[in-house]
Structure 1
Amino acid sequence: MKKKVLLVTSFVLLAGAAQAQGGFSLTGGTTASVESSVRPFGLNIVDHVKVAGSDSASASFKNNELKTLKNFANTNLREGTPMSNSDVQLHRIDPSKIKLNTAADVRAYFVGEGAGYHNTLGFNSQGGSTSTFGSDPKLIFPDASERGGTTRTTSEPMKSGDFVNMGNFSANTQLNFFLIANGANGGTNKYSTNHINPDNLVHAVAFTLPGTPYLLIGFEDLYGGGDRDYNDILFTLDVGRANIDHLSSPEPTTGLILLGFIGLALARQRRKVAA
């Protein structure tokens, strides 16, 4: 079992001309023929897992976005390599502040996983929680495990591009996500984007790249140290373009700091020219 520090990573990818901008139906999609029946901690699922490409929005995601997201993850979340790409760092956001600026239907797409564990992914939408689960937790992927080929099994039920319709959420809703490490096999270690974690480590990182309605999120699943490659669960949220644009905007203090650095650089350049 590889050792890792659990993190949640959010990324939004600029996927080129074929970006999905059209929204989706919360009743869309065909339920997968095989699903995990495990319910760690007795938690309920928010909805059934739907088959990749089984409605128009998921077909667009699968055909136009999924490859780009995987390439991004393979470049920046390489197995056993700490994430340090400076271009990615420029778009880092605080994962404990994934708050919707406008009302939105929200969907989670499974991108992939690089774990030895059979991990469980869930969320709550209460915000400001003082516990890992929050007051109304729901499961998204009870067993986020995938095998090669086209076959699904109850112990490896997922395929890239599968999705879950999470529901409609009002403006100012904060979404917190949690991972139960090896939850499908009885694991009990829980880690969350709200930084309330048993090892007192920051287990979540988040990134955005403006231009799509998507966040790419990745978890790591072991208590304590590790290689910080954050790829034990990779999933994408569709929260709408307006929310992504808002999340991508720097906070006022950050903007002032950036302007300060720009001003300093210009002043230095002027002095150099004058000399």
Structure 2
Amino acid sequence: MKPTVLTALIAATATLTGLFSKVETASAADFTWDNSWTQPTVLSKSQTGFNDAPFQQFVQAESVVLPNSGQFKLDPTKLNLKYDYDVSVYFINEGAGYRNQLAFDALGTTNKSGLLFNDISCEGSGCVGGGGGNALKLGDGVKLGNITAGTQLDFWLRADGLNRGNSANIFSTDTASNADKLQHAVAYAYNNYILLAFEDLYGDLYASGIDSATGKLNEGSDRDFNDVVVVLDIGEKNVKDLIGATVPEPSVTLSMFAVGTVSMFGLRRRRQTRTSN
């Protein structure tokens, strides 16, 4: 295991037990995807100075199922900023067959929501996807503006939203908000950032047919949580506050390392063809 990966896993284990402060959350019913949202200005890394290279080490070319993903459960009901900060979100990579979209929701002392990326597709050198679309370059970023202390953040993925629009599945970082009641995001603290990755397919591991509980179609998910990978810049002080001084139990640490030896992030390239509207 690379030292950098080991460092990230140590940070992640601390994140599991000390990551978030308690705040109230909105339910799934409180969030509505607004089709009038417009794509914010996408800034290149030459404009922002953001370096995506350290995060690309977590991107692999083929599907690797992440076992025991419940250990990584991110509870956005507790993703609360203690300090004011001009928050940004940076695109790291994508390995999806879908043309996904990503939005955010902020509640508390700052109340706003909006689109982050309208078409999460990447072609060319370093891109894992390669299934169609060239909307983003590695390291591209968007700004959320100033988010004040006492604000809760949540992020929402609209799976293949560019093509499916209102019929697309929408997945939150909050498991309870998802129609399949499954986790669709994992997060790690790394280099004073939060690395956030999504699974975009509905249903449990390799499940097919109709989900009898919802009537929705299971999509044969590989549950690798690597269809969209972004970095959240919420400020060094906020990240350190979220991590806190809590030391994880040894058993948790060992289980995290075991997962890390398989893969931290195994991005995949699906063989389905992607098309845009």
TM-score tier by shorter-chain length is 0.5 to 0.7
Give the drift of 1:85. 9.6
For 1:142-157, list aligned pairs within 5 A.
142-149=118-125, 155-157=133-135
Give the drift of 1:158. 0.4
Q: Which runs of 4+ in 1 moved over 6 A?
A: none
Are 2:193 and 1:200 aligned? Answer: no
Describe the superposition over 1:216-254 as per-residue Cα deviations: whole angstroms up to 9, x where unpaired.
111111110222211111111111111111121266xxx
Which of residues 71, 80, 83 in structure 2 aligns to 1:99? 80
Are 2:211 and 1:216 aligned? Answer: no
Structure 2 SS opposite 1:111: strand
Give the drift of 1:168. 0.4
8 Å Cα contact 1:95/1:206 also seen in 2:
no
Check 1:169–1:203 CA distance in 2 against 1; reply closer, same or farther (3 A cut).
same
1:166 aligns with 144
Cα distance in 2 for partners of 1:51, 1:222 equals 29
Number of aligned residue pairs: give it: 196
Q: Which has the higher strand share?
A: 2
8 Å Cα contact 1:105/1:239 also seen in 2:
yes
Are 2:225 and 1:242 aligned? Answer: no
Amino acid at match of 1:258: E
Amino acid at match of 1:148: G
Are 2:115 and 1:139 aligned? Answer: yes
Cα distance in 2 for partners of 1:207, 1:149 equals 25
1:80 aligns with 63
For 1:176-191, list aligned pairs within 5 A.
176-187=154-165, 188-191=168-171
1:29 aligns with none
Cα distance in 1 for partners of 2:196, 2:99 equals 17
Are 2:75 and 1:69 aligned? Answer: no
Structure 2 SS opposite 1:185: helix
TM-score by length of 1: 0.62
8 Å Cα contact 2:74/2:187 also seen in 1:
yes
Describe the superposition over 1:136-164 as per-residue Cα deviations: whole angstroms up to 9, x where unpaired.
531000001111159xxx94210001110
Output the aligned Cα RMSD: 3.2
Structure index of larger Rg: 1
Describe the superposition over 1:143-194 as per-residue Cα deviations: whole angstroms up to 9, x where unpaired.
01111159xxx94210001110111011111110000000111242100012
Cα distance in 1 for partners of 2:251, 2:203 equals 37
Structure 2 SS opposite 1:68: helix
Unaligned stretches of 5+ residues in structure 2: 1-6, 10-32, 127-131, 205-220, 253-277
Identical pairs, percent: 37
Amino acid at match of 1:73: V
2:214 aligns with none
Cα distance in 2 for partners of 1:81, 1:50 equals 31
Check 1:259–1:182 CA distance in 2 against 1; reply closer, same or farther (3 A cut).
closer
1:48 aligns with 41
Check 1:81–1:171 CA distance in 2 against 1; reply closer, same or farther (3 A cut).
same
Amino acid at match of 1:215: I
8 Å Cα contact 2:199/2:224 also seen in 1:
yes
For 1:243-258, list aligned pairs within 5 A.
243-249=238-244, 258=249
Cα distance in 2 for partners of 1:120, 1:243 equals 26
Check 1:165–1:13 CA distance in 2 against 1; reply closer, same or farther (3 A cut).
farther
